[in-house]
Amino acid sequence: MQERYTNKMDGMVAIVTGASRGLGRAIAKEFAAEGAKVVVSARRSSPTGLTGTAVETANQIRDAGGEAMALACDVSDEEQVMAMVGQTIDMYGRIDVLVNNAGVMVLGETLLDIAPDIWDLSVAANLKGPYLCSRAVLATMIEQKSGSIINIGSRMGSDHEQGGGVLYSSTKAAVHMFSFCLADELKEHNIAVNILSPGGLKTEGSAAIPWTQRDWEQRVEPEAVGPSAVYLAVQDASTFTGRLVLRVEFGETWGKVS
């Protein structure tokens, strides 16, 4: 284990959705390296054929000396979400952190290009997923009187010129507002809700998008997001909540680098 890890999340239990690859996998591994017990959640297989599974991520965590449990879950399916959260409680007895990372990207298509079923699938994954997962963990977090929900946002949800298009940008903008409102709602229960915008990443999903090659060298590996995610994970409503923060500004305009 690298020296920079100081067990900031020792004893904590974290659920990370969409953790079969890319950003979700990187965050899950970072949490485990900081001492958390991590529930690695993802669909059994990628509908677009991308490699990686939750089991592989959990195995990598255990191989590095961490603790993880892999659970298959489609975050747009309420029954599957409730089962995932129930299994987490059965295994670990608590939930301290939820990272709503699972989602899909439909980029480069006009409104007329996007069929209604594709629209519905994107909204289900990108917006209904965070709603269902957040709703499922709240009873436990409220009972604990603490918790942290991290919703993965995007610059495309704040700036229409970033290329997100009518569908992806709309879902991410909705996630941003969902997070702000939920943060206000949960302050009395000491539960933090924040939005982490990771910026351009070199992930398997990004590599499949042709126009990302234009700025590929300016993008960072998903592991670069880990420390900022850990900072948000250890917050509660008394310390840091209701914020949309950029990974690239971590340690400068927000967060403390230890």
Catalytic residues: 168
Tokens of 100: 């709503």
Is the distance from CB of 8 to CB of 2 less than 8 angstroms?
no
Alpha carbons 25 and 57: distance in angstroms, whole number: 6
For 88, half-sphere exposure in the C-beta direction (CA atoms, 13 angstrom radius) is 32
**Coil, strand or helix: which one is 145?**
coil
Tokens of 223: 């592991």
Full DSSP string of 192-238: EEEEEE--SB--HHHHTSGGGGGGGGG-B-GGGGHHHHHHHHT--TT
C-alpha pair distances (Å), 204 with each of 24, 29, 128, 163, 222: 12, 17, 24, 19, 10
Nearest CA-CA partner of 99 in 219, 13, 207, 189: 13
Is the distance from CB of 25 to CB of 41 less than 8 angstroms?
no
Alpha carbons 43 and 41: distance in angstroms, whole number: 7
**Cα angle 142, 147, 149; round to 5:** 110
